[in-house]
Amino acid sequence: MFQKFYPDFYVESAYEIPYEELYAKGIRGLLYDIDNTLVEHNEDATERAVELMNRLKKLGFSIMLLSNNKEERVARFNRKINVNYIYKAGKPSPKSYLRAMEQMHTDKNTTIFIGDQLFTDIWGAKKAGIPAWLVKPIAKHEEIQIVLKRKLEKIVLFFYKRSIKHQK
């Protein structure tokens, strides 16, 4: 019932993903949500985010930001990291995920998505056929509409974690 929302991987942070291992396995494209995935909501790129993006570029990854935010917000975040982006992405629609892969010259087998929300980020990636990495949200305080979604996400994550235990 909830499987369409289940991530392929669930990790503490986008900063803890084993990127070198992924590159060795043939992953070449990284799609990122911004808010609460790389920085707190509406925050500019932090030094930590800049360092991560520079490290990933040196490894050889193509990187694209995929955000439902307006261009001003995405461009402001991107100022220090200088990667490609799609704003007003319409997640969870798979269209922007597919367009991003086309622009990065990657495909479903060589791209992953990293985000913090099940019902937009992860579901959209799953609909596009891309492996989805869910990260725990960075900020503790969020806008009311996100808070309401998080309550529903807790239910889905309960069943996701239970299914993982049964697989072991």
What does the pLDDT average to over 154-163?
79
Work out the burial of residue 117: count CB atoms within 10 Å of its CB; fewer than 13 is exposed, 13-18 middle, 19 or more buried.
buried
Report the domain count for the chain: 1
Question: Cβ–Cβ contacts within 10 Å for residue 6, how many?
Answer: 20
Does residue 116 have a pLDDT over 90?
yes
Which backbone phi and psi does 114 adopt, to 5 degrees? -125, 120
- pLDDT score at 142: 62
Instruction: Kindly report the CATH number assigned to the domain that includes residue 116.
Output: 3.40.50.1000
pLDDT band at 159 (very low <50, low <70, confident <90, very high): confident
pTM, two decimals, is 0.89
**Lookup result for tokens 């070198």:** 20
d(CA 80, CA 83): 9
Asked, as a colleague might, if the bond just before 92 is cis with ω within 30 of 0, I would say yes
Residues pairing with 132 in the sheet: 113
Higher confidence at residue 136 or residue 162? Answer: 136
Query: What mean pLDDT do residues 3-10 have?
Result: 91
Give tens-digit pLDDT for 35-91: 999 999 889 999 999 999 999 999 999 999 999 999 999 999 999 999 999 999 999
Domain with 44 in it: 3-167
Query: What is the per-residue pLDDT for 139?
Result: 75
In order of 66, 87, 153, 154, the CA distances from 147 in angstroms are 21, 22, 10, 11
- Partnered with residue 86 across adjacent β-strands are 66
